[in-house]
Structure 1
Amino acid sequence: MAIDDRRRQHDLSKLCPLMSLCGTPLVEGHFESISDLSRCLLRGSRPGRSAGDAAALICSALCAETADGDGDEDRAGSRVSDLTCVTLTLVDRLVSVQTELGASSQLCSYAEEVTVLLHQHTDLLSKMVQQFQAEDQIVSHLAAKSVSSYIFHQLQTSRVLHPVWQRKTVQAFHSPSPSADLQACMWSLTDVLKRLMKGHHEDLLMELLAAFDSSLSTLCSKLLSDDVQPVLDSSSSVHRGTTLCTLLDLLEVLTASRFTCGPAVCLPSQRLSHIHSSALLRMASSSSEYFVQKRVLLLTKRILLQKAGEDMALGEQKHGPLCDDVMVLADAVLQAVARGWLQCLHVESECFFGGVAQERGDEAQRPDCVMLRAVGLIVLKSVDLKLQTAGGTAGEVSSREALVCVQTLWSFLRQCRVRLTETPHPCCWPGLLFGEQDDDMMEAAKALLSIFLRHRLNSGSRDADAACASGCNPHCHFLLLLRSVSFDHSTLLDFLISTETCFLEYFVRYLKYVGSDWQGFTRACQRTDESEGEQGPKFRLSGFSVRPAPVPQAAEEIRPASGIRLVDYGSSDESDTENIDVSDDSRNNREPNSKQTQRPSSQTSARVVSCLSQLRQVVTRLQTKKLFPYNASSLLKLLAQVETLQCCHH
């Protein structure tokens, strides 16, 4: 018999008699012994206690009961809960250390021995699963966390799904009454899915999803049905909001898993967010818990932007062509807006760590900007997606409906105590709403530009000024964007090399358009000079001015790490993915008549061109020194074109 086998046999012989401690009254020494084991593992050293002793100690600690005759039952119960929490944390650590980088081989071997003894000879996982329904929410959560660690480890090492955990989860999903039990099952499955996605285990991920596919569909059908209120009755109200938020986390991971595995393979459970999109939108407008409404809207926003799971750092997303399911969600949003969905949304005052800000004088409280930005992007992106798929007569109808939908959004903002001062221009709404969040601002600008170009294509109208009525003039948006950064080219450079926003895609597309409508651009600049002055528009969000953020300093020489691409474009040629024709008027604009050449250049126009000229010079210098993170040749041509147009029309 091998030495390792003899040692394990010896540990097992010691484990059996020690198992008699299970179910006995709480032993004072348990807590200290478990703590000693935990401290050793945290230090990265091998405990002196044998694997058999450690396994027996862990098992008995999880089965400990309050001693009879204890005068203070609450205190004794608290001691048991504390011991259970420490023990569950220890089990989680034992599993994690086996795959942890930097852990010594001795410690890994010890942790593996203890884990094998526990799960093969004491059925520890069954005991931890029982803790899912513990009244103490911390115990329930730690049990779910420890179980998830073991399930993930077992899938990695043996590709086996533990039947106890699977059976418990399926049972909970088929009888989804809000409880700690259901929450723990949903959280545990979500955590395992996340671990598989982060580890790029696509095959294991699909196997796990297939095992729960049917039960997940049942879970969502019951929790998101029209009959949702009776299912979540008042007797379980303590769990209602948490249950729904845990479900939303699970739905986001399921949606993200679709892109992790690629669009070619898709199970029904990966489409649940789209299948139940109407129910989710109803939840956003009817749920009694405000934080649930907010979570639904944030999830919807990320799905429409194809950013589901982005905040969870779930790894690279393999996005394919625009799928029908995204259009299902966009259609559901637009239908809801047409039925008055926006008017049913409840927006509270902005919250801070210390609570809600109190009113001061005649100033009203500032509305929840996170909520408003989510609603704004949901509507704008849905309109954009709808126009992308509509053509011909349907496209003309969709274009008219799109503008109505955008105007409905601005009306919703007015009702939410958002107002403009000193300028009534509708094109100021995007800057007011999204100006404090760069990534949302760029997504909104890109969507509005796409909406304008699609409407222009469907309606045949070439007048950008007319789009001001619906707040969709791309020239106004670009001017307001530059004003918000004080026409600082270094800020634009930061945007260009950042992967945190879609600025490059928006910027290239706008530059292509401005080349075809220079007259519209100059008119927007002149209106800006006449109506807003040098200080630019002042936005007010219910008593609180929205001021430009401090301009960051951008280094002129940026050397990316070897092999790292800072922007997901091989070149700026690839930015315009929708191939909308924006240059059919460009020849006429490059041949100005004598009357146009006599028109003086506006001050705003001069500042814009100066900013873009400085940007072109910096990018040229960086590209010449091979310090720019991608091929900017096409971008540089577009920037040079702006300078040429300015000279021709001066």
Structure 2
Amino acid sequence: MKSFFEVLEHLYKKVLLGATLENDIHDYIFYLNPAFSDQDYSTTASECSNTFGVQGTREPSSVSLATISGAPVCLKRHSEMGSAREIMLLQLTVIRVMVTRILSVKTEFHARENYREIIKILLKSSDIDSKLTCMFQNSDKLLSHMAAKCLALLLYFQLREKVTLSNSWISFCQKNLSEYSESDKVVYCLWTLTAIIKEIFKDTCSQKTEILKQFLTPFHTIFEVFYNSLFSQHFENHQDTSKIINSLICFLELLELLIASRIHLKLHFTCQRILFLKPSYVLDVITWPVQAFVKRKFIVFIKKCLLRKVGEDLCQEWVPASVLPDHHLHVDLLALADAVLQAVDLGLLRTLSVHGKPSCFGGDEVQPGSERVPGPDHVILRAASLLIIKSLEIKFQNCASANEMKVDLQRFMSELLTFLKPHLKPSLQSHSQCEWLSRVFIEQDDDMLEAAKASLGIYLKLTREHEATESLTQEKEMWNHHTHENGYNPHCIFLFLLKNIGFDSTVLLDFLISSETCFLEYFVRYLKLLQKDWDNFFTICKNFDVTESKDSMNICGCIFSLVRDRSSNQTEPSPLAALGSQRNAHACISWVSHASSEPLDQVVMSEETHVTLQANGLSPPRASQSLVDYDSSDDSEVESTDQRLSSSKTTSLHQEAMKKIQDTVGTSRDKKEISLEPPSRPLVPRESNTPFSVDCDIAPNKIVSGVGISYRTVKCFKELQGAIYRLQKKNLFPYNPTALLKLLKHIEAIYNQSMNHL
């Protein structure tokens, strides 16, 4: 006869492969029934029954259910069966894999029916819900965790099969959540609830909303009671803070799923609104004396709520917020934004420390012999910045007073910039306050574009309110000064973004064909603004050019003084000496970049632009090698682009955004249709192709304006336009870019017209 452990191992291998079971299902139920219910396996020493497990006795080929449910089992007596702990872990693993196979559409039909019948009988006969719930109190953490995972899948199986949930488990959760304590039972209760909602999100069935409604009905009032009791505690009064931190982290994950289910599954329960009804409770945790990682999780959570990105990693299909508007959610987001701004007004940023241990790959601890690189926690810097800028945008959307908006913007942006400046090295200069955005978000593309879009929304809202006074020159100058002083001028923000990517059009193309950022919506809104506000953009470009000219003059002086010093002792410089001069020149550039207010990549770009530009088109070199070379031959272009687009799906977000583009640009076609193919004529007048000399003299203003920031911007747009056109011609672009190409061509026409008037 086979041992008990060997039977379980054989069953595990069969279920893992999704194979049909050949024996009677009652035999398998016997082996899957957990032996211990409310006792710890380490203290159980009851004798084995002669029903199974002892050599020489019969196997359970046809065991009645009454015998199964009441049979005491001793698993520790015989060494060949393995320890009791291993037996129980294997039982839980087999049950969990079996339920997973039932829920998978890839499982063969007959095998799935076998597994379904086993689980149904097991649920009815053995009161397995109560047994697994009792295991939460087990001192063995692995066993408790496996019991929670197994119970979550069994409960979700009951929801899928429309079986009434166990009253004992519902009572257990209601009791622990309503009478909050710091015991581990609350944590496992929260973890199980979270795991069930995750399974609902991951399922591919079309009845997610009905399943979630059935699940939340017994708990929707209890969650609010638990929310109030958990966040109203005085953290500093607790001696053992680890348990309350575990409860905070577990409930935060559950809270995120509840809000995500409201957005994506269109379900409305009070428990899904508790954050928005009492947002100050969650914001207060940021001021508690807890570890940095706890504050980081809460700040990131609030940021995701404001951006409507909660639960996005669990959703198979992203539903844009604009498709099905939710008025109540809009009101709730406004309440959350007001709470954030009120907390900032009360000194939230002044109490927020970002000097804690920075996150490291693999952990927070530095290995012996290694040095920790000093610096702030950039995750908190980015999240706090986006919190403020997004909250201001949401508030201004519902504010009608221009003066009130200007006062709020100046107050909160001043608070934010004061908070950021000590952590930005080199520090921001007075003429480039708008650089804060690209400096803070340089390592996080999606957050950077969300912040840029929110800043642009603020600018557009305020601009509409000031249209009546913009005709006055003095008012216009004061308005431009206000936008620069408070770091939200959209032209500066966009130019700093282009400078950071080296004016590389392939990076913009990657943003456009990816659904991971909001670049499409931001880019279209900015291009529409650029059409109307070209003069202001061109003025800002000239200021950028003057700044770069000064930086390049300082760099050139350093380079040529080094070259003269190196060559003064040699009558005839050798190739090796020339090579050494170049190395010293690059070293000088690196040294100047650290002393300058500009980042390294911007200083190098400035030097390359104003020193090495020659008569060959005056095109600045690319800052870096692109991930995908869109300028290669047709064959390689098709191959690389096909590989790039094979992993990206055409989402409803792109379609909705492009529909908005076409609606806003105009549905009526002009009499003279604008061609999509990029023109072959040069972007700048022929006379501006005069090469610079390498002695770093300041070029005439006309040449500087022709080949400066404005030229590089429009040249980048033209390259982007050509790449989009080639992809569209091969049906490789993921959406219809006609309106986008029209905007890009219009910008090019405006540029050529302005250059002709110089």
- 8 Å contact 1:490–1:615 — kept in the other structure? yes
Query: For each residue in 1:522-543, what CA deviation from the matched residue of structure 2 results, as whole angstroms up to 9, or x when unmatched?
Result: 1221222221357999699999
Partner of 1:635: 740
Partner of 1:615: 720
The answer as to 2:434 corresponding to 1:427 is yes
Residue 361 and residue 108 in structure 1: after superposition, are their counterparts in 2 closer, same or farther (change >3 A)? closer
The answer as to 2:137 corresponding to 1:133 is yes
Structure 2 counterpart of 1:349, from 337, 354, 357: 357
Structure 2 counterpart of 1:372, from 369, 378, 381: 381
Letter in 2 for 1:35: E
Partner of 1:6: none
The offset of 1:222, in angstroms, is: 0.8
Residue 538 and residue 82 in structure 1: after superposition, are their counterparts in 2 closer, same or farther (change >3 A)? farther
> Bigger shift: 51-60 or 128-137?
51-60
Residue 81 and residue 273 in structure 1: after superposition, are their counterparts in 2 closer, same or farther (change >3 A)? farther
Q: TM-score with structure 2 length normalisation?
A: 0.72
Structure 2 counterpart of 1:485, from 501, 505, 516: 501
- 8 Å contact 1:97–1:108 — kept in the other structure? yes
The offset of 1:628, in angstroms, is: 2.2
The offset of 1:459, in angstroms, is: 4.4
The offset of 1:386, in angstroms, is: 0.8
The offset of 1:621, in angstroms, is: 3.2
> Bigger shift: 423-432 or 327-336?
423-432
Letter in 2 for 1:233: H
- 8 Å contact 1:333–1:379 — kept in the other structure? yes
Q: TM-score with structure 1 length normalisation?
A: 0.83
Query: For each residue in 1:468-497, what CA deviation from the matched residue of structure 2 results, as whole angstroms up to 9, or x when unmatched?
Result: 111111111111111111111111111111
Cα distance in 2 for partners of 1:211, 1:152 equals 15
Cα distance in 2 for partners of 1:487, 1:210 equals 54
Cα distance in 1 for partners of 2:335, 2:407 equals 20
> Bigger shift: 276-285 or 498-507?
276-285
Letter in 2 for 1:181: K
Q: Name the SS of the counterpart of 1:269 in structure 2.
A: helix
Structure 2 counterpart of 1:565, from 625, 641, 650: 650
> Bigger shift: 350-359 or 30-39?
350-359
- 8 Å contact 1:540–1:546 — kept in the other structure? no
After TM superposition, list the pairs within 5 Å mapping 1:196-211 onto structure 2. Answer: 196-199=200-203, 200=206, 201-211=208-218
- 8 Å contact 1:491–1:554 — kept in the other structure? no
The offset of 1:250, in angstroms, is: 0.4
Cα distance in 1 for partners of 2:353, 2:596 equals 17
The answer as to 2:191 corresponding to 1:194 is no
The offset of 1:420, in angstroms, is: 2.5
Partner of 1:122: 126
- 8 Å contact 2:500–2:601 — kept in the other structure? no
Partner of 2:675: none
Partner of 2:626: 551
Letter in 2 for 1:279: Y
The offset of 1:238, in angstroms, is: 3.2
The answer as to 2:504 corresponding to 1:418 is no
Cα distance in 2 for partners of 1:193, 1:206 equals 11
- 8 Å contact 1:526–1:602 — kept in the other structure? no
Q: Name the SS of the counterpart of 2:192 in structure 1.
A: helix
Letter in 2 for 1:608: T
- 8 Å contact 2:661–2:739 — kept in the other structure? no
Please tell me whether Structure 1 or Structure 2 has the larger radius of gyration of its CA atoms. Answer: 2
The offset of 1:145, in angstroms, is: 1.2
Partner of 1:19: none
Residue 362 and residue 142 in structure 1: after superposition, are their counterparts in 2 closer, same or farther (change >3 A)? closer
Partner of 1:285: 287
Structure 2 counterpart of 1:240, from 241, 244, 250: 244
- 8 Å contact 1:197–1:260 — kept in the other structure? no
The offset of 1:68, in angstroms, is: 5.2
Structure 2 counterpart of 1:229, from 235, 241, 249: 235
The offset of 1:544, in angstroms, is: 10
The answer as to 2:153 corresponding to 1:145 is no
Partner of 2:660: 574
- 8 Å contact 2:202–2:314 — kept in the other structure? no
Cα distance in 2 for partners of 1:360, 1:516 equals 58
> Bigger shift: 107-116 or 90-99?
107-116
Cα distance in 2 for partners of 1:282, 1:53 equals 55
Cα distance in 2 for partners of 1:633, 1:222 equals 55
The answer as to 2:4 corresponding to 1:39 is no
Q: Name the SS of the counterpart of 1:244 in structure 2.
A: helix
- 8 Å contact 1:174–1:219 — kept in the other structure? yes
Partner of 1:16: none
The offset of 1:254, in angstroms, is: 0.3
Query: For each residue in 1:333-369, what CA deviation from the matched residue of structure 2 results, as whole angstroms up to 9, or x when unmatched?
Result: 0001111111111222322125356999999612111
The answer as to 2:149 corresponding to 1:110 is no
Query: For each residue in 1:369-426, what CA deviation from the matched residue of structure 2 results, as whole angstroms up to 9, or x when unmatched?
Result: 11211111111100111111101x3x421232123212211211234x3332585521
The answer as to 2:106 corresponding to 1:98 is no
Residue 375 and residue 635 in structure 1: after superposition, are their counterparts in 2 closer, same or farther (change >3 A)? same
> Bigger shift: 53-62 or 167-176?
53-62
- 8 Å contact 1:599–1:649 — kept in the other structure? no
Cα distance in 2 for partners of 1:233, 1:541 equals 49
The offset of 1:133, in angstroms, is: 2.2
- 8 Å contact 1:333–1:382 — kept in the other structure? yes
- 8 Å contact 1:525–1:602 — kept in the other structure? no
Letter in 2 for 1:209: L
Identity percentage of aligned residues: 29
Structure 1 counterpart of 2:186, from 156, 179, 182: 182
- 8 Å contact 2:502–2:624 — kept in the other structure? no
Residue 95 and residue 600 in structure 1: after superposition, are their counterparts in 2 closer, same or farther (change >3 A)? closer
After TM superposition, list the pairs within 5 Å mapping 1:246-325 onto structure 2. Answer: 246-262=250-266, 265-313=267-315, 315-317=317-319, 319=321, 320-321=325-326, 323-325=330-332
Cα distance in 1 for partners of 2:291, 2:112 equals 45
The answer as to 2:516 corresponding to 1:500 is yes
Query: For each residue in 1:429-468, what CA deviation from the matched residue of structure 2 results, as whole angstroms up to 9, or x when unmatched?
Result: 1111101111111101101111222222334554435411
Residue 258 and residue 404 in structure 1: after superposition, are their counterparts in 2 closer, same or farther (change >3 A)? same
CA root-mean-square deviation: 3.6
Structure 1 gaps of 5+ residues are 1-27, 580-595
The offset of 1:224, in angstroms, is: 1.7
- 8 Å contact 1:539–1:546 — kept in the other structure? no
Residue 422 and residue 455 in structure 1: after superposition, are their counterparts in 2 closer, same or farther (change >3 A)? closer
- 8 Å contact 1:331–1:382 — kept in the other structure? yes
Cα distance in 2 for partners of 1:452, 1:358 equals 47
Cα distance in 1 for partners of 2:201, 2:404 equals 42
Cα distance in 2 for partners of 1:563, 1:542 equals 39
> Bigger shift: 400-409 or 42-51?
42-51
Cα distance in 2 for partners of 1:549, 1:178 equals 53
The offset of 1:80, in angstroms, is: 3.9
Cα distance in 2 for partners of 1:387, 1:271 equals 22
Q: Name the SS of the counterpart of 1:601 in structure 2.
A: helix
Q: Name the SS of the counterpart of 1:254 in structure 2.
A: helix
The answer as to 2:750 corresponding to 1:649 is no
